[in-house]
């Protein structure tokens, strides 16, 4: 299911403090980008933020777990994106801090894995 323009605008408002974010449709949902790095994901009107070893404990402490999806063949895959705790939707300052931490996780991840180069045919 595609993410509606109304929900995209809502997400832009939530992340105003981060400045110029972009939302790009992908895989039936949408990615949330800043400076060409994806730090968030929207699936079925649920926002997920990028998680790594530096911010995972905060999400898990709030009772959140990874976004899971099932691949062909029935194998379940956990992604490094966790849902935003409900309380953050009512606390813009705290949400901004969690989003900054998610963006930092995306930056760290980008440094760890160099860009893939496509082979010329």
Which pLDDT belongs to residue 49?
98
Per the structure, the count of domains in the chain is: 1
Residue 18 lies in a domain: yes
CA max distance for the chain: 51
Residue 23 lies in a domain: yes
Residue 34 lies in a domain: yes
Look up tokens 């929207």; give the residue. Answer: 42
CATH number, domain of 65, equals: 3.30.1460.30
Which pLDDT belongs to residue 111?
86
Residue 12 lies in a domain: yes
Per-residue pLDDT of the chain (121 residues; tens, 9 = 90+): 588 899 999 999 999 999 889 999 987 899 999 999 999 999 988 999 999 999 999 999 999 999 998 888 899 999 999 999 999 999 999 999 999 999 999 999 998 765 543 444 4
Which pLDDT belongs to residue 113?
62
Which pLDDT belongs to residue 114?
59
- Whether the CA torsion 87, 90, 93, 97 is positive or negative: it is positive
Which pLDDT belongs to residue 57?
97
Residue 119 lies in a domain: no
Residue 118 lies in a domain: no
- CA distances for 25 relative to 56, 94, 115, angstroms: 25, 26, 21
Which pLDDT belongs to residue 121?
42
Residue 85 lies in a domain: yes
Domain that holds residue 31: 5-112
Residue 24 lies in a domain: yes
């Amino acid at each position: 299911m595609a993410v509606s323009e109304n929900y995209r605008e809502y997400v832009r408002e939530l992340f105003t403090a981060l400045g110029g974010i972009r939302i790009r449709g992908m895989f039936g949902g949408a990615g949330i980008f800043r400076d060409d790095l994806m730090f968030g994901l929207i699936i079925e009107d649920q926002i997920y933020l990028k998680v790594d070893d530096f911010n995972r404990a905060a999400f898990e402490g709030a009772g959140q777990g990874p976004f899971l999806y099932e691949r062909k063949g029935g194998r379940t895959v956990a992604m490094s994106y966790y849902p935003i705790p409900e309380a953050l939707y009512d606390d813009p300052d705290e949400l901004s801090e969690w989003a900054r931490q998610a963006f930092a996780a995306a930056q760290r991840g980008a440094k760890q894995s160099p860009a893939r180069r496509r082979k010329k045919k």
